[in-house]
Chains A and B, each alone.
Chain A
Amino acid sequence: MATRKEPIWIARDLSKCSGCRKCEIACSLHHEKRIWPEASRVRVFMLVPGADFPHLCAQCEDYPCVEACPFKALSVSRKTSAVLVNNKKCTGCGKCIEACPGRIPHMYPANKKIVICDLCNGNPQCVKVCQEGGWNVLKTVTRREHPYKLYARKPEEQTRSLAIKLYGEKAEEFI
């Protein structure tokens, strides 16, 4: 997929996620030149087997993480709409995690710096592998008016929704 010339968003259809974690592999290969699942900007949670889903930045309309950073380490890319982390300014204070309704940012495992999806400068690698495999959980779309912030859900909350959709009331036993 060619890099788009306008701000983008990654549309997501979470219940189709197979839990293959190819998005983590692609993300870490792109950013770290290693397969490094915990350094990946997208992480697949599987708190209940089958209710697997990728947890990644939703690029909220009001960017509460950017607002919350006391060190101005976070900014919004005008090109893509992604949240960019300035590692020189980030102190790893974790205020952005607290500010995120989905607690999506996490620490880079090798040092105390935050990692957040940067939309691969407009050509997200996680989307590429998900599309190649035909799972279509992730899809790049043009950013328009949409309540993107809804997609910033905490792992437990998202798991509950998916598990109930999948298993019905039986899911209560596993949550």
Chain B
Amino acid sequence: MILGYAGKFLEIDLSEGAFKNVTFDDELLKDYVGGRALAAKILCERLISEWEELDPLSPDNILLFLPGPLTGFFPGGRVCVSGKSPQSNGVVGSTVGGEFGVELRCAGYDGVIVTGQAEKPVYVFIKDSDVEIRDASRIWGKDGKETNTLLNKECRRLLSERYPDYGEWKEPAKLYIGPAGENKVRTAVVVAKWTHAAGYGGYGAVMGSKNLKAVAVKGTGPLPEVADLRKVSRLIDVVNKNAYENILWRRWGTGGGGYSFAAKTSSEPIRNWQEEWHDEKGYGVDQFESRLWVKQSWSDFGCGTNCMKIAQVKSGKFKGAITDNPDYEMEAYLGPNLGIFVPEENVFMSSLIDDLGLCGIQTGNVMGFAAELFQRGILSKKDLDGIELKWGDTEAFAKLAKKIALREGIGDLLAEGTYRAALKIGRMKGKDVLQYAVQSKGIGIGAHGIRSGKDFSTDIGYACSVQCGDHTSITDLPEDGAVGEVWAVFNDSAICCNFSGGFGLPRNLKFDFYNAVTGLALTRESWSKGGGLKTLQIQRALLLLGGPDLKWNPKVHDDNPSRFYEPLPSGPYKGKAADRTSVRESVLQYYQEVGWDENGIPKSETLKKLELRDVNKALRKLRK
């Protein structure tokens, strides 16, 4: 057994109400590590032959909660949620902070694999090796914060009853869904600790489709044994000291972005990306801090960065609303993207989105899309169930968000996410509205535009990513250069936090960390030519195989949303836009570097060299 692993995975069949322990070979774990890469491998092995016909919201989908060998050691304690994505029909490795991954590993598991569908709403309660599928009818329908409270109470009561001699029981760690997930909204998230979410991918809907409200876990064991504890401790110190030095980051987290990514880099979505620049000084992080933050430092397990803050609205119409900073993505997508520039209103929207169990990025994207259609007279007030969806009308957007979460009226259509909604509205109105859909292959683009060229996002970042619009998994040239997607794969597989693990740390640190934990000798090069590249090929193959409702044509869909080719209308980078010809050239160059043919399909020789014969076989039909 490789060190750093607990040594077993828990597989739960919700249809049968049964569970068992499963293991994977060391060789497989050496290649696929954990988290995202392992998720891609498991899904490929079990489902590739039926992938095209598999509806992600059917009981046949497999839902995965996979920490990595660094979870608990690397400051931040993240876990990866995955499965077939109801957004892209591919595989997205969506990581989330909190305490779940740590508790799960302390309970003795390297991950949870969920298959089937429960007959009635249930939640899974894990206490070390005791696993129980419990009735969740009492918490079904409850919002995020209520769900968290009810689960804490019920699980602590159970623990005290079952182990009365132990002393006080700490709360279990939980991953749960809100009403949006229950209603299989494609922009639903898997939530942890109120405000944390595995957003990209839409796995809240997959949990909902399985009638799985939550997984709660209490582990009383130690984290797995590591190869070199002194080195691991030293590396933890290196990451922490780096975090302590990054004062601005610690102080404001990503909360400074709502102003800076507009005023400085001109890359923030504003009114559905019609603009990317604003200079609203009232939206500065100092205002969030002075008026709203009730907690300056809020961390996940072992984290010295504490990029999370807690905000609460203290007065006015939205009094009482609680969320985190909001972090930059929520600030942007539930702020300027909806024409909202008031911190209190942004905190209220973000809090509502948390409670409904929606993804702020995807839901902010689809609501911005709807508002632009309203602005252009394509969607009428009647189409919107009487809502006048004017930019900046927070209450109108709040109404719409609730309708989306409950799939009521127009909400049912928008609950399909921007791309699917655009197709439907296009048919409904006899008009191509895809030009207003700012997304890539079913996934709304993260709040980092490419037109100014001043943000970290790249020209082909979203066009070629196997996670599509995911701003944390972008591509660039060269394929394995500084921004290569193989590094995002490692990050999401080992699993490290982008924030505690970036910005000022040596390039090799994550690999040194992995080696100190596992006792292996993985290098950057061997990862980028081995496990990292294999994972990209699997994710690409499954993305192209698609699903019963949608398939992607690389010639059309390996591209930026058309909005990114429109010149920026304002700000210091006014007039700048992505260039179609050069993007297309870069896309083709990327194909070549990563081993795909001119149609963007992984080449037979690439797959054979990587020993991915099953993938090669499955792709034959696409090569015709």
- Which residues of A approach B to under 8 Å, CB–CB? 16, 18-22, 25, 28-29, 32-39, 43-50, 52, 55, 92, 94, 97, 103-107, 109, 112, 132-135, 154-155, 166-168, 170, 173-175
A-B pairs, top 10 by smallest CB distance, nearest first, are A106-B167, A20-B299, A36-B222, A109-B220, A18-B297, A34-B222, A18-B299, A38-B220, A35-B223, A49-B194
Decide if B240 touches A32 in the complex (CB within 8 Å).
no
Q: How far is the CB of A125 from chain B (nearest CB, A)?
A: 12
Q: Tell me whether B168 is interfacial, beta carbon within 8 Å.
A: yes
**Shortest distance from the beta carbon of A9 to any chain B beta carbon, whole Å:** 22
Give the residues in chain A near B507, CB-CB below 8 Å: none
Beyond A45-B168, A109-B220, A168-B312, 10 additional contacts (C-beta under 8 Å) are: A20-B300, A20-B304, A34-B223, A36-B221, A43-B170, A50-B294, A112-B165, A167-B322, A173-B145, A173-B149
The answer to whether A18 and B298 touch (CB under 8 A), given A94-B165, A134-B244, is yes
Q: CA–CA, A63 to B532, complex, Å?
A: 57
Contact B295 A50 (CB under 8 A): yes
Assuming A37-B106, A38-B219, is B167 touching A22 (CB within 8 A)?
Answer: no
Q: Which residues of B contact A (CB under 8 A)?
A: 72-73, 99, 102, 106, 145-146, 148-149, 152, 156, 165-168, 170-171, 193-195, 219-223, 225, 229, 233, 236, 240, 244, 294-295, 297-304, 306, 310, 312, 320, 322
A168 vs B321: C-alpha distance when bound (angstroms): 11
Residues of A with C-beta under 8 A to B99 = 21, 46
Q: Is the CB of B295 within 8 A of A32?
A: no
Interchain CA distance A157-B161 in the complex, whole Å: 20
Neighbour of B225 across the interface among A22, A34, A132, A175, CB < 8 A: A34
Majority SS of interface residues in chain B?
loop
Q: Please, which residues of chain A bring their CB within 8 A of the CB of B146?
A: 173
List, sorted by A's number, 24 A–B pairs whose CB atoms are closer than 8 Å: A18-B297, A20-B301, A20-B303, A21-B299, A25-B236, A29-B233, A33-B229, A35-B73, A36-B221, A37-B102, A37-B106, A38-B220, A44-B170, A45-B171, A47-B152, A49-B194, A50-B322, A94-B165, A104-B167, A104-B168, A105-B167, A167-B312, A173-B146, A173-B149
Distance, CA A107 to CA B168, complexed state (A)? 9
A170 and B168 contact, Cβ closer than 8 Å, known pairs A35-B73, A37-B102? no
Given known A-B contacts A103-B167, A170-B312, A173-B149, A38 and B106 have beta carbons under 8 A apart: yes
- Give chain B residues whose Cβ lies under 8 Å from the Cβ of A107: 165-167
* Distance A170 CA – B351 CA, assembled complex (angstroms): 13
A109 close to B221 (CB less than 8 A):
yes
Contact check: which of A25, A154, A166, A175 meets B302 at CB < 8 Å?
A25
What is the CB-to-nearest-CB distance from A39 to chain B, in angstroms, rounded to a whole number? 7
Q: Given the complex of chains A and B, what is the CA–CA distance between A155 and B169 in angstroms?
A: 9
Nearest Cβ on chain A to B287's Cβ, whole angstroms? 20
Cβ of A174: which chain B residues have Cβ within 8 Å of it?
Answer: 145, 148-149
Report the bound CA distance from A133 to B106 in whole Å.
Answer: 25
Chain A residue, CB-CB nearest to B98: A49
A47–B170 CA distance with the chains assembled, in angstroms: 8
The smallest beta-carbon distance between A128 and chain B, in angstroms, is: 11
Assess the B320–A170 pair: CB atoms within 8 A: yes
Decide if B72 touches A45 in the complex (CB within 8 Å): no
Q: What is the CB-to-nearest-CB distance from B320 to chain A, in angstroms, rounded to a whole number?
A: 5
What is the CA–CA distance of A106 and B145 in the complex, to the nearest angstrom? 28
In the bound complex, CA of A45 to CA of B148 (Å): 14
**Residues in B neighbouring A18, C-beta threshold 8 A:** 295, 297-299, 306
B-chain residues with CB within 8 Å of residue A135 when the two chains form the complex: 297
Q: Of all chain A residues, which has the CB nearest B294? A: A166
Chain A residues near B294 (CB, 8 Å)? 50, 166-167
* Cα A99 to Cα B391 with chains together (Å): 60
Assembly CA distance A29 to B152 (angstroms) = 27
Which chain A residue shows the least CB distance to B219? A38
- A135 to B303: give the CA distance in the assembly, Å: 12
Q: Are B223 and A36 in contact (CB under 8 A)?
A: yes
**B contact residues around A46 at 8 Å (CB):** 99, 170-171, 193
